[in-house]
Amino acid sequence: MRYVALLRGVNVGGKRRVPMAELAAILEGLGCTNVATHLQSGNAVFTATATLAKRLPQLAAAALEERFGFAVPVVVRSARQLQVLFLGNPYALEGAPEDSLFVGFLSREPSARQVKALDPERSPGDRFAVVGADAFLHLPNGVARTKLDNDWFDRHLDAVITVRNWRTVAALVERTCG
């Protein structure tokens, strides 16, 4: 089965460098096959058993920390999960411009109470919808200006989030689903 691993906070602004060839080697060393990275921002597509994929966030995070000396949260999604997410983005469905669309991949599904407690007015003009373990973001003012940042989601949803722009999500869907 095909999956994608999404690393948070690597290779941004020259900090927390994780060469993609080394990421691929780490994933292969953990038992993944057909590993291919996408861009330099911590995206890897691979084949694995469901059992390995379920354990991979912890295994990969531990291997990356051992190799590079800093914590790297890892979120994993199956090809099917990516496809459902891609086809169900409420902001894409209503025709929002592609360059304003982002997806936040959460490390776990938050409770309905946690989602309901999120302030929809935190970042005027920006919108979000948390569906399962994914946060769809419509950021017409740009990702650099939003107050819907990783720390805010992490704190309120008691999960780690890693965000990708819509173009990257589309490319990952294509690479996992064919």
Per-residue pLDDT of the chain (178 residues; tens, 9 = 90+): 999 999 998 866 667 889 999 999 999 999 999 999 998 888 999 999 999 999 999 999 999 999 999 999 999 999 999 999 999 999 999 999 999 999 999 999 999 999 999 999 999 999 999 999 999 999 999 999 999 999 999 999 999 999 999 999 999 999 998 6
**How many domains does one find in the chain?**
2
- Do 56 and 97 lie in a common domain? no
Q: What is the CATH number of the domain that holds 161?
A: 3.30.70
In a domain, 174, yes or no: no
- Do 64 and 95 lie in a common domain? no
Boundary residue ending a domain (48, 80, 112): 80
In a domain, 177, yes or no: no
d(CA 102, CA 165): 4
Q: What is the CATH number of the domain that holds 46?
A: 3.30.70.1280
pLDDT of residue 13: 65
pLDDT of residue 10: 83
In a domain, 172, yes or no: no
166: buried, middle or exposed (CB in 10 Å: 19+, 13-18, 0-12)? buried
pLDDT of residue 8: 93
Domain of 89 in residue numbering reads as 85-166
- Do 35 and 102 lie in a common domain? no
